[in-house]
Structure formats: C-alpha cells, structure tokens
C-alpha cells in the first residue's frame, strides 16, 4: 500500500469505514511512514475542528413574537368583520320606513323560508366550508409573511440575523423560486462561512428540486472556504449528483488546495463515478 492510496483513505480510517483487511494494511503502512502519520494527525485535527462548527439556535422569543403577531392579525380581521356588519345594520335602519315595512316583512318571510330549506338540504356543510376557507386564507397569509421576513433578514448586516433568516426555510411549506434564488445567492456570496454552511444545509433539504440541484453544482466553482467545499462535496454524494464530478475535478486542479479537501474530493468523485 503506497502513500497516495493511504492518504486517500485517511477519512475512512477516521470514520471507521474500512474493512478489517484495509484497516490492517493502512495501519501497517502508518507504522513505517512518518509522513503519512503526520498527515493522519493533521487530518484528525481539522476533522475535529469541523465537527465543532455549530449553527446558532433561533432566539427563544422567535415563536412568542410570531404568535403574538398572528393574534394581532386575527383580532384585526374580527374587528373588520364587526365594522362591516355594523354598516349593514345602519343602512337597513336608514331604509326602514312605514311604507316599506309591509313589503319588507313579506320579503323576509320568503327569505327565511328559503334559508330554512337550504339549510335543511345542505346540513352543516356550508359553515364547515366557510371555516375551512378562512383557515386556508390565513395559512396562506402566514406563509407569505414568513417568506417576506426571511428575504428581508437575508439582507441584514448581522450574520446572526441572516442565520435566523435561513432557519425560516423549514417553516415555509411551499418554497418558491424567489426563496431558492435568495438561498443560492447567500451560499455563493455571503461573507460568513457559518451562514454559508447553514444555507447549504437548508438547500440540501430541498434537493428534490431540479433548480436547487443545478444551483449547487454551479456553486462548487464559487467556493473558497475549505469547510464549505468539503460540505458541498458531501451533499453532492448524498444527492448522487453526477454532474458535480467535472467541477469537483476542477477543484482538484486549484493551486494551494487544502490536503484534507483534496482527499475528501477525491473520495467523493470515487463514490459518484
């Protein structure tokens, strides 16, 4: 077993993914090769540092503030309905004259009969349908508010606020093209590595979308952080995106590429080939 083969399998060695025979051969080589032992130790240190990278949790007040906003919205809608009903009553009172009382009473009797017949035929389906429509409308409006808040926070100069914006992706049930474009732009251009890593995680959850997969493949050539490069290579393997093989090979040709990144990319290419 030569040095090149050993270094290509150091990550598998650290993750205990080698077979017993491969493990024994690699350990035998390490016992005789100081350079490979030093490479293993460097790889272990970098890998441990990467494992300590964590995404900040959303503030505890997030859900409280959101539901407070939702309660205010519902109260405003209820007040609007009450004002509308009051206006109708006032207009009816203005038209209520003695000359119209007889005809109006007769008309009301006919309307009451019609309503009773309709209610008898339909049971409770109409109230249920109206209630469901209100719920659907409110749910749609809440989704729009979440999306607007997310897009707005992605422009915030604070990295913590941008991390919070990316976390909203999990609460948006129907992610559209505008959100996907904003996430891809953040992945490619954000100055903070942690923000890019969390954005990549959010995009990986949307990997079923062809637009997301294509954007992640193009993002490979735009990353300068070793941490993001390694994480992106992992995502390509997870999605089994074979179109990423060519840009991954181009990464290997970059000058000064980190040895750990090089080893990881070579491993990813083998898994995708």
DSSP string computed for 19-70: -HHHHHHHHHHHHH-HHHHHHHHHHHHHHHHHHT--PPPPPTHHHHHHHHHH
Write the pLDDT tens digit of every residue in 188-208: 999 998 999 999 999 999 888
Q: Is the pLDDT of residue 213 over 90?
A: yes
Who contacts 180 (Cβ-Cβ below 8 Å, separation ≥6)?
A: 203, 206, 209, 211, 212, 215
pLDDT (average), residues 99-127: 53
Structure tokens at 263: 């080893």
Burial of 96 (0-12, 13-18, 19+ CB in 10 A): exposed
Write the pLDDT tens digit of every residue in 12-66: 777 777 777 787 787 888 888 888 888 878 777 776 766 665 555 556 555 566 6
Encode 5-33: b = buried (16+ Cβ within 10 Å), e = exposed: ebbebbbbbeeeebeeeeeebbeebbeeb
Average the pLDDT over each of 11-20, 104-113, 127-136 and give the range with the smallest value: 104-113
Highest averaged pLDDT of the listed ranges 34-43, 69-78, 98-107, 160-169:
160-169
Q: Is 225 helix (H, G, I), strand (E, B) or coil?
A: coil
Looking at every residue in the chain, the average pLDDT score rounds to 76
Choice between 194 and 71, residue whose per-residue pLDDT is larger: 194
Residue 112: per-residue pLDDT: 58
DSSP code for 216:
H
Residue 186: per-residue pLDDT: 92
């Amino acid at each position: 077993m030569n040095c090149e083969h050993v270094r290509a399998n150091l990550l598998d060695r650290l993750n205990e993914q080698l077979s017993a025979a491969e493990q024994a051969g690699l350990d035998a080589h390490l016992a005789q090769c100081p350079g490979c032992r030093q490479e293993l130790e460097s790889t272990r240190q970098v890998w441990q540092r990467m494992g300590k990278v964590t995404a900040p949790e959303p503030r505890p007040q997030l859900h409280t503030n959101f539901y407070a906003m939702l309660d205010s919205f519902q109260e405003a809608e209820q007040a609007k309905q009450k004002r509308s009903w009051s206006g109708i009553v006032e207009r009816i009172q203005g038209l209520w004259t003695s000359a119209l009382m007889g005809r109006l009473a007769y008309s009301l009797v006919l309307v009451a009969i019609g309503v009773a017949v309709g209610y008898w035929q339909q049971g409770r389906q109409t109230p249920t349908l109206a209630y469901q429509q209100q719920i659907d409308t409110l749910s749609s409006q809440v989704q729009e508010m979440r999306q607007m808040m997310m897009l707005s926070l992605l422009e915030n100069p604070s990295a913590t606020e941008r991390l919070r914006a990316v976390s909203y992706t999990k609460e948006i049930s129907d992610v559209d093209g505008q959100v996907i474009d904003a996430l891809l732009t953040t992945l490619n251009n954000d100055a903070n590595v942690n923000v890019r890593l969390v954005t990549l995680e959010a995009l990986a959850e949307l990997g079923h979308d062809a637009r997301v997969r294509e954007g992640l493949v193009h993002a490979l050539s735009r990353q300068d952080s070793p941490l993001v490069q390694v994480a992106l290579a992992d995502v390509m393997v997870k999605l089994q995106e074979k179109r990423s093989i060519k840009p991954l090979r181009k990464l290997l040709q970059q000058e000064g590429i980190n040895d750990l990144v090089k080893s990881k990319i070579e491993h990813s290419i083998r898994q995708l080939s």
